Amino acid sequence: MIGAEQWLRSAPAHWTRGRLKDLISSSSNGTWGSDPVENGDNVRCIRAADFDRVSRRAELSNAPLRYVEPSSLRQHLLRPGDLVLEKSGGGEKQPVGMAVLFTGTDAAVSSNFCARIKPSADVDSRFLSYVFAAAYGQGLTQAAIKQTTGIQNLDTGAFFASRWAFPEKEEQRRIADFLDTETARIDGLAAKQSIQSQLLADRDVSDLSEVYQNLMQEYGAIRLRHMLVRIEQGWSPQCEDRQVSGREWGVIKAGCVNGGIFDPAQHKALPDQVPPRQEYALKEGDLLMSRASGSTELIGSIGIVPELEYNLLLCDKVYRLGLDSRLGRTDFVAHMLRSHMVREHIKMGISGGEGMANNLPTAVVKDCVLPKASLSVQASTARKLDEDFSRTARVRNALQRSIKLLAERRQALITAAVTGQFDVSTASGRNVSEGVST
């Protein structure tokens, strides 16, 4: 990342040198209001969860309705062209500090964990949103984060004091017009590739479900309970939010099988003073199933533990399924548990009311119905499915790499344009290097 002094020196000579705060008219904290009322005088309350993090726009469709007193509403009401900046929240992989542009016409406010940003009179709001995107991508917000009790808080004073250079409003509009066009083109390509990836995944499930049905018709059915010798959930002590090193022990996270395969990186380190419970140590070949999650789509996800490089323990939000080796092969059972029919059975059996965590009871797991195929048929079926899915996985991985490169190119294009590294009036954006940075 090139330092601010260097890029400011290389910015166009006619651009004004200053600070981010020179682009801002006002910054004010949002409000959460109170529970919605029945007379309809409610407004949408935009949270960080309502940020479209690709287009950098506020998405109102799922924003909660809240009631805000008229006097407070006059102070907090968002106007088209305002920005909403996340001030508190964030996480390890998604630092606080992202800003989105509000373009809606419905009455809305920003939540109390966000701030409403009004551009200065001589600043184009779209240009400012791209400036904030460049600043976020280049780490200026991360440098202004204060961490307290696990929550990231953005020091807006320090962030707004960041040095910046900017052109007159007419040139800002040209830059914003250019970026609107080019980022839309990039987003369109990424969306098409994402659709292709999902279609491939859907085809895998369809093919698997056809295999499942054919085997059921030919060999009959058996409930999983008759193939199990045990089903257990693990242990979730207070852990350190980091990965293990050396001979340390770690406890897997609930999302370790969310991708349909076991991800050993999804764990937290067990504190040195806490002795590991060896009965929950993971072993190569263990069959794991997600037991609890905020998303019903992820509950029941399956993964097989590969050879491990470090010591990991089972957590209490994941089941370990022990199979009778005379009746079931781990690879075959794992495939069948991913079939559409079994997934629907699992979704129907999830417990947890409104406001409560979703949970998968053991009885539902045991009642999963699988084909009663011989071990030799299970082996040949699993081998064929592994080969088919490996081919699909290679294509999907290539698509995901391409999508990631497009995202990097998009960020580089925004940064180059709002820092004056090329003249948008003569550039198409197609030759911008992915390595451009401030």
Residue 285 zone, left/alpha/beta (φ > 0; ψ -120 to 50; rest): left
**Mean per-residue pLDDT, 214-241:** 95
288 phi, psi to nearest 5 deg: -115, 150
pTM over 0.85: no
Q: Which helix or strand (DSSP H or E) is residue 117 part of?
A: strand 114-119
- Structure token digits, residue 106: 């419905």
Contacts of 148 (CB under 8 A, 6+ apart): none
**What fold, for 221-371?**
Adenine-n6-DNA-methyltransferase TaqI; Chain A, domain 2 (3.90.220)
Return the pLDDT at 128: 97
Look at residue 94 in the predicted model and tell me its pLDDT: 83
Domain boundary assignment for the chain: 4-166, 169-202+378-438, 221-371
Q: Is residue 142's pLDDT more than 60? A: yes
Residue 4, pLDDT > 80, answer no
Return the percentage of the chain with pLDDT > 70, whole number. 94
pLDDT at 287: 97
Mention every residue, 6+ apart, whose C-beta is less than 8 A from residue 328.
227, 370, 378
**pLDDT tens by residue, 161-208:** 999 999 999 999 999 999 999 999 999 999 999 999 999 999 999 999
Confidence label for 379 from pLDDT (cuts 50, 70 and 90) = very high
- CATH code given to domain 4-166: 3.90.220.20
